[in-house]
């Protein structure tokens, strides 16, 4: 087989065979196929697309390019959850303890933030002492004893994605539906869970800006899950505004604790209950209404918050900070940001708002940058609320005073205040399963 012929076939719009896809993935990971030929094929895929069968074959070849986690020694149905990323998205740390407190084991590998989006592992590491780099044995032990553990990626998982993602990043081929779907699903398949819940974000802070594009991505991923025998469900959730009020690592952990105590922001609580009930239902705990009631009960009776503390303790973290937020390392500077005019908070360009938080030190622009765990933004107003000129709309936290100015400029540009009320938008747009798309009107 010659790579030249594989490229030409895709360029001309034909579907590749499983053997051709395998030849490409194996050859590229081994270093036998050079970047320029891999780039040409990626661009051909970008323009010509892939059939569902081709996308599933690519996903499986990528998943098998490195270690595959075997969770079969842990009892029960294991359900994984993946978010396509956003601003203020701390849902994993709310829902994993909820479902684990109901006996569903969660062995989850999460990522770090990059660009304007946050990452669960960075948020967790803002808890003093907490370790996210555990070897497989320690990881599995915690899942068996506590029921839940969230760690950074262990071992040599999906090297094909590492190489291909880096290449896509510099060849303008990231934004291709089959390539995104295979990238995400290969990692989920290699991570070993039996069932998968996807939280596909949509809006100005998300990868997919429109609901229809998000649904198309969800359908592609759900179809891959079906073809590889892992039941997959996707919720399309709103990322046209930050989720909750807190953006930034330690600030978000505090909001997680508040949400698990039943005192969290309404939008975050609603999205978490929807995700938790879908995860529970995938694990066989009943229909969605039953599972939602179960999840709500675990918040009300304190069991879910207790489970979070158990996981933090098992991973070496200082649990006392979760009860007493004063014990979190404090930002040297806290500045209140005021509204520049009267009106209603109409919209937030969520990506730009996320970049403002990065500017304060809450994220990294390059992979090797250090994070200031105490930095970030707490929004004091929600979309649709009236604001008066000079009234506080947000609090900024940072260790370096000189960062405030640039961050405020970005933040002020990100928000729009108008005289009219904004249209009401749903928090959850749709639920995508292998056989249907349910449009949801949850405000
Ligand atoms: N997230 C991934 O893991 N891969 C993509 O291609 C896009 C988002």
Three-state secondary structure readout of 71-105: CCCCCCCCEEEEECCCCCCCHHHHHHHHHHCCCCC
If you search the block for the tokens 């907490």, which residue do you land on?
130
Q: Is 183 a catalytic residue?
A: yes
**Share of residues in the chain with pLDDT > 70 (%):** 99
More confident residue, 114 or 14: 14
Is residue 161 within 8 A of residue 62, CB to CB? The reply is yes
Q: Where are the beta strands (DSSP E) in 12-163?
A: 79-83, 106-110, 148-152
Q: Which atom of ligand 1 is nearest to the CA of 187?
A: 3
Annotated active-site residue in 176, 182, 183, 281: 183
Average pLDDT, the chain: 95
Can you tell me whether residue 149 is helix, strand or coil? strand
Give CA–CA dist 296/289, Å, rounded: 11
93-121 confidence digits (pLDDT tens): 999 999 999 999 999 999 888 778 889 99
Compute the average pLDDT of residues 268-272: 98
**Share of residues in the chain with pLDDT > 90 (%):** 90
Judge whether residue 2 has pLDDT over 70. yes
- In this structure, the residues whose C-beta lies within 6 A of any atom of ligand 1 are 165, 174, 180, 183-184, 207
Give CA–CA dist 442/236, Å, rounded: 11
Instruction: Give the torsion sign (CA, 46, 47, 52, 58).
Output: negative
190-230 confidence digits (pLDDT tens): 999 999 999 999 999 998 899 999 999 999 999 999 999 99
Per-residue model confidence (pLDDT) at position 442: 62
Per-residue model confidence (pLDDT) at position 305: 98
Give CA–CA dist 201/85, Å, rounded: 7
Per-residue model confidence (pLDDT) at position 153: 82
Per-residue model confidence (pLDDT) at position 364: 84
Q: Is 82 a catalytic residue?
A: yes
Annotated active-site residue in 80, 89, 122, 161: 161
- Span between the terminal Cα atoms of the chain, in Å: 54
17-63 confidence digits (pLDDT tens): 999 999 999 999 999 999 999 999 999 999 999 999 999 999 999 99
Is residue 206 within 8 A of residue 214, CB to CB? The reply is yes
Task: Enter the tokens of residue 204.
Answer: 């100005």
Give CA–CA dist 236/242, Å, rounded: 15
Is residue 24 within 8 A of residue 38, CB to CB? The reply is yes
Annotated active-site residue in 168, 188, 195, 292: 168
Alpha helices, DSSP H, located in 283-399: 288-300, 303-314, 320-323, 350-360
Give 172's contacts (C-beta < 8 A, 6+ positions apart): 46
> Best of 165, 221, 234 to mutate for ligand 1, by most ligand atoms within 8 A of CB?
165
Residue nearest (by alpha carbon) to ligand 1 atom 2: 184
19: part of which helix (H) or strand (E)? helix 18-30
Judge whether residue 443 has pLDDT over 80. no
Instruction: Give the torsion sign (CA, 187, 193, 198, 204).
Output: negative
Can you tell me whether residue 346 is helix, strand or coil? strand
Q: HEC profile for 166-181?
A: HHHHHCCCCCCHHHHH
Per-residue model confidence (pLDDT) at position 161: 93
Q: Which atom of ligand 1 is nearest to the CA of 111?
A: 3
Q: Is 168 a catalytic residue?
A: yes
Can you tell me whether residue 441 is helix, strand or coil? strand
CA-to-CA separations, 215 to 60, 339, 428, 430, 433, in angstroms, rounded: 22, 35, 12, 8, 11
How far, in Å, is the centroid of ligand 1 from the Cα of 318? 32
141-183 confidence digits (pLDDT tens): 999 999 999 999 877 899 999 899 889 988 889 889 999 999 9
Q: Is 116 a catalytic residue?
A: no
> Best of 174, 190, 220 to mutate for ligand 1, by most ligand atoms within 8 A of CB?
174
Q: Which domains does the chain show, CATH number per domain?
A: 3-49 (1.20.970.10), 79-159+167-322+427-439 (3.40.1030.10), 329-418 (3.90.1170.30)
Give CA–CA dist 166/143, Å, rounded: 32
Residue nearest (by alpha carbon) to ligand 1 atom 1: 184
Annotated active-site residue in 82, 108, 123, 162: 82
How far, in Å, is the centroid of ligand 1 from the Cα of 296? 31
Per-residue model confidence (pLDDT) at position 85: 86
Can you tell me whether residue 4 is helix, strand or coil? helix
Compute the average pLDDT of residues 325-335: 95
For the whole model, what pTM was predicted?
0.94
Q: Is 39 a catalytic residue?
A: no
């Amino acid at each position: 087989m010659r790579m030249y012929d594989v490229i030409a076939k895709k360029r001309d719009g034909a579907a590749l065979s499983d053997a051709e896809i395998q030849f490409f993935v194996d050859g590229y990971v081994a270093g036998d196929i050079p970047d320029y030929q891999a780039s040409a094929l990626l661009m051909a895929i970008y323009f010509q697309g892939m059939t569902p069968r081709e996308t599933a074959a690519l996903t499986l070849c990528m998943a098998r390019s490195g270690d595959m986690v075997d969770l079969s020694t842990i009892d029960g149905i294991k359900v994984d959850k993946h978010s396509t990323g956003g601003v203020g998205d701390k849902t994993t740390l709310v829902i994993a303890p909820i479902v684990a407190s109901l006996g569903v084991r969660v062995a989850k590998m999460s990522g770090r933030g990059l660009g304007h989006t946050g990452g669960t592992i960075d948020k967790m590491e803002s808890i003093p002492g907490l370790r996210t780099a555990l070897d497989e044995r320690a990881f599995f032990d915690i899942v068996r004893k506590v029921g839940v553990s969230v760690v950074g990626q262990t071992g040599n998982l999906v090297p094909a994605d590492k190489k291909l993602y880096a290449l896509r990043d510099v060849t303008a081929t990231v934004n291709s539906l089959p390539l995104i779907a295979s990238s995400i699903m290969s990692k989920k398949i290699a991570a070993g869970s039996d069932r998968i819940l996807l939280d596909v974000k949509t809006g100005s802070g998300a990868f997919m800006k429109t609901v229809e594009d998000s649904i198309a991505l969800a359908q592609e991923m759900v179809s891959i899950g079906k073809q590889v025998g892992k039941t997959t469900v996707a919720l399309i959730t709103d990322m046209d505004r930050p989720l909750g009020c807190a953006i930034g690592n330690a600030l978000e952990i505090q909001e997680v604790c508040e949400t698990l105590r039943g005192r969290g922001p309404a939008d975050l609580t609603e999205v978490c209950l929807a995700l938790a009930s879908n995860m529970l239902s995938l694990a066989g705990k009943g229909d969605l209404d039953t599972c939602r009631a179960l999840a709500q009960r675990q918040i009300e009776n304190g069991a879910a918050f207790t489970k979070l503390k158990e996981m933090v303790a098992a991973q070496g973290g200082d649990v006392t900070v979760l009860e007493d937020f004063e014990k979190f390392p404090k930002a040297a500077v806290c500045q209140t940001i005021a509204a520049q005019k009267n009106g209603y908070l109409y919209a937030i360009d969520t990506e730009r708002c996320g970049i403002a938080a990065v500017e304060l030190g809450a994220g990294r622009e390059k992979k090797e940058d250090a994070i200031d765990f105490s930095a970030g933004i707490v929004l004091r107003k929600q979309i649709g609320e009236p604001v008066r000129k000079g009234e506080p709309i947000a609090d900024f936290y940072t260790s370096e005073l000189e960062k405030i100015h640039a961050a405020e400029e970005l933040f002020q540009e990100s928000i729009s205040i108008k005289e009219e009320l904004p249209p009401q938008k749903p928090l959850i747009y749709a639920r995508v399963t292998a056989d249907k798309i349910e449009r949801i009107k949850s405000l």
